[in-house]
Structure 1
Amino acid sequence: MNAEIDSELNQWLEMLRSPDLSDRLVAVKNLQYLGDEEATNALLLALSDDSIAVQKIAISALWEIGNPVAIPALIECLGSADIDIRQEALSALNELVSPTDLQQLLDALHRDNVNIQLNILTLLRKIHDAQSLPDILPFFASKVPELRAAAVTTLSYLNQVEKCPQALALISDADVNVRRATALTLGHLTDPEIIFILCQTLKSDTDWQVRRNAAKSLTIHADSAAISALETAVSDEHWQVRKFALQALQKVPDERVLPALIRALADEYSDVRKEAAIALGNLSNPAAMNALQQSLDDPDKEVSIFSERAIQKIQKLLQNSPNA
């Protein structure tokens, strides 16, 4: 560090110790503009300031500098009582942490601070390391529903974790947000019971977002064992459940659902009608031709486009048929 920079840093350090907030704000802003790694220690000092404004600027500056030495102090900020500080620190850490920081994150996960735990569970999604699993599993039984939901979501990000029996029970959790998160996570696991569990959830959960997420996961699995439940879901009271059930049926074309698909072409929501047209195109059954012809006049352009494509698929199939 040359003498000029050293003198400037000392000036801002002195102002950071001032009882006057305006002096401390000036100092931390200038340290931010300086943007030099040499300013890191001064900015770390500013993280302990009584002023939220000073802390937030310091976090932003450390984020810009990008020196990993700031990671432990930023982890402390994840436990702040101020939500803006927590969010800014989380954003900074999301850029700074790497797989080499895994143990540091896992150590912080065991701190007795819900805010730190929630944010560490989020950061672990960036690292994707299956070594995190033993540390995440205890949170499935946490008394804090937010932690249960965060933990089961993080599970879906871990590489090479295909089965997790401990997660399955969370689909019946009393907290709706936990069930929503679990329904999505089950799309990434391969436990033998999962298709049955997702089908039951799709048919019986009282929350439409849980049912929608179950349909999304069944789309990923693309298992013909889910056809009956998906057919029922095409008549669900909520349009988003109907939409994603149709997307799942696109992956497993089955003649049994033809009547349900044709009915969906007349749904009040254009998103549902479009998915029905795509599903009918994948099914390519000539019995759908009349309904698809009527959909060519649909007020929604996408519905008419996909209806035309479905008709073309059916016509091509008929042309190639030996009995044509």
Structure 2
Amino acid sequence: MNALFEDFDEIGELAEALDDPSPGARIMAVIELADSADPAAIPHLARAIADEAPGVRKQAALALTDFDGPETAAALVSALTDSDPSVVEAAAISLTELKDPASGDAILPHLGDNDTVKLRACLAGIKELRRPEAMGPAITALQHADAGVRIEAVGVIGWLQDEGSLPALRDAAKDSDTQVRRTALAALGFSNSEHAEATLIKGLEDPEWIVRESAAETLAKTGHETCVSMLRAALDDEYWQVRVKAVRSLGKLKATQAAIEIAPMMDVPVPNLRKECAAVLGEMAVPETLPFLEKYKDDPDPDVRKNVRWALGKMGVK
């Protein structure tokens, strides 16, 4: 056996099948190398990423999901320029599974890449690695023409949780793309600054409900009671999804003064909203809300019933 594999007999034998003339046999070799969970398989899977058959390359990219580290990241980054879109997609997915911060060494040099698909994938891949060096390129990427790139750039900035990035996130919250604005508002949750809160409050007025929903949810993370009045106003939003988040945030902020406004929302024909209202009213335990809870203790929705009865128990009613 080749000396290269003398310490890894099983891996070496599996790797030999990567030279089989049959693509099917090479795919099986890739699968078995992945199943070994042995880091010694990484260089062989990296070699398979350059196989002549797209099916083998795709399987190798998927197989690398089970591994980590700079060598894995480098192989996946190389696959982002593959001629087959399915290989690129598989590599992009596997990149997001990396957890070792050292993997970022292979990704950082590509955060200014001109290839939009590659740039988007590299931003997504480095996000959870929390590499501070990614902040500058991510802020630059907020100016990219592709909304998908801007969304991933916001994600990188949000994960780094640096107060110095607030101006960039505030600008992103005014982006022309709905999903960029939504992601930017969610990213502001790490900060309890007045600037972050002001941006989130402004988000409650966004023309798109999914942006307002994100703002209503994230406001609870600021820890400021100054936003209570705006969240109370959001209880009248035309979209129940926004109202659910407003109710939840008011509960987290322990805004008991809003209980009397939340209680009538038990009458809405949306089980998810009734369920959330019941849970929050139980936490607030304001006696004036008891009639609304008692009315729904036999609600047809089991989750609503469960929360209502729990809330009544919290308030001493059996």
Query: Is this contact kept in 2: 1:186–1:217, CA < 8 A?
Result: yes
Residue 140 (structure 2) aligns with: 138
Identity over the aligned pairs, expressed in percent? 25
Residue 131 (structure 2) aligns with: 129
Shift, 1:57, TM fit: 2.6
Residue 243 (structure 2) aligns with: 242
Shift, 1:150, TM fit: 0.9
Query: 5+ unaligned residues in a row in structure 2: which ranges?
Result: none
SS of the residue 2:194 aligns to: coil
Residue 208 (structure 1) aligns with: 209
Shift, 1:32, TM fit: 4.6
- The letter for the 1-side match of 2:282 is G
Measured against aligned partners, the alpha-carbon deviations of 1:11-33 in whole angstroms (never above 9, x if no partner) come to: 753x55xxxxxx34434533553
Residue 224 (structure 1) aligns with: 225
Residue 294 (structure 2) aligns with: 293
Q: Distance in 2 between matches of 1:66 and 1:270?
A: 43
- The letter for the 1-side match of 2:117 is N
Shift, 1:52, TM fit: 1.7
- The letter for the 1-side match of 2:238 is E
Q: Distance in 2 between matches of 1:127 and 1:201?
A: 28
Q: Does 2:225 align with 1:259?
A: no
Structure 1 window deviating more from structure 2 (244-253 vs 192-201): it is: 192-201
Residue 180 (structure 1) aligns with: 182
Shift, 1:116, TM fit: 1.4
Q: Distance in 2 between matches of 1:63 and 1:258?
A: 47
Measured against aligned partners, the alpha-carbon deviations of 1:35-73 in whole angstroms (never above 9, x if no partner) come to: 687776665444334432121133345555768534323
Q: Does 2:308 align with 1:307?
A: yes
Q: Does 2:115 align with 1:116?
A: no
Q: How many residues align?
A: 308
Q: Distance in 2 between matches of 1:101 and 1:67?
A: 5
Q: Distance in 1 between matches of 2:16 and 2:213?
A: 58
- The letter for the 2-side match of 1:87 is E
Query: Is this contact kept in 2: 1:187–1:221, CA < 8 A?
Result: yes
SS of the residue 2:142 aligns to: helix
Residue 32 (structure 2) aligns with: 33
Q: Distance in 2 between matches of 1:135 and 1:213?
A: 25
SS of the residue 1:205 aligns to: coil
Shift, 1:168, TM fit: 0.4
Query: 5+ unaligned residues in a row in structure 1: which ranges?
Result: 17-22, 317-324
Structure 1 window deviating more from structure 2 (125-134 vs 171-180): it is: 125-134
Measured against aligned partners, the alpha-carbon deviations of 1:61-113 in whole angstroms (never above 9, x if no partner) come to: 55557685343232021233544212322344445562223232110212221
Aligned counterpart for 2:152 among listed residues 147, 150, 153: 150
Q: Distance in 2 between matches of 1:40 and 1:311?
A: 57
Q: Distance in 1 between matches of 2:94 and 2:85?
A: 14
Query: Is this contact kept in 2: 1:234–1:245, CA < 8 A?
Result: yes
Specify whether residues 103 and 299 from structure 1 end up closer, same or farther in structure 2 by C-alpha distance, changes over 3 A only.
Answer: same
TM-score, L = length of structure 2: 0.83
Structure 1 window deviating more from structure 2 (232-241 vs 253-262): it is: 253-262
Measured against aligned partners, the alpha-carbon deviations of 1:221-261 in whole angstroms (never above 9, x if no partner) come to: 24211112211211211111111110001022335423321
Aligned counterpart for 1:195 among listed residues 189, 194, 197: 197
- The letter for the 1-side match of 2:310 is R
TM-score, L = length of structure 1: 0.82
Q: Distance in 1 between matches of 2:283 and 2:61?
A: 52
Structure with higher Rg: it is 1
Q: Distance in 2 between matches of 1:305 and 1:276?
A: 12
